[in-house]
Amino acid sequence: MQFGIEQPEAVFASFTKGPGSGVMGLFESWGVADSRWRLSVQSVFARAIPVELEDGSLGKFAFTLMPQWAKARWIRGALQPAKLYHLAHAGLL
């Protein structure tokens, strides 16, 4: 399940009462996730720093880390532990 979170402030909404909370809460109720997924909100990181571009103008370089998708899988019919993946990104704005 991909959450499609593009802005850091959207993580709080998704992981408190939105799709992130719903999916991970379901996985927790199935016993394939524990309460650590709730820490995802605290792991969010977004910073932009000013940089000088090749043409001499000023730009911003951004660094972000946000939860992006969750995965549950079955092996031979047995549900395996779910995983919550975070995406780190760096690039010019």
DSSP 54: T
pLDDT score of 2: 87
pLDDT score of 59: 96
pLDDT score of 42: 87
What's the number of CA atoms in the CB half-sphere (13 Å) around residue 69? Answer: 6
C-alpha separations of 53 from 47, 61, 64 in Å = 18, 10, 20
As averages over each run of 10 residues, the pLDDT of the chain (93 residues) reads: 83 90 95 92 91 95 93 95 94 92
- pTM of the predicted structure, to 2 decimals: 0.78
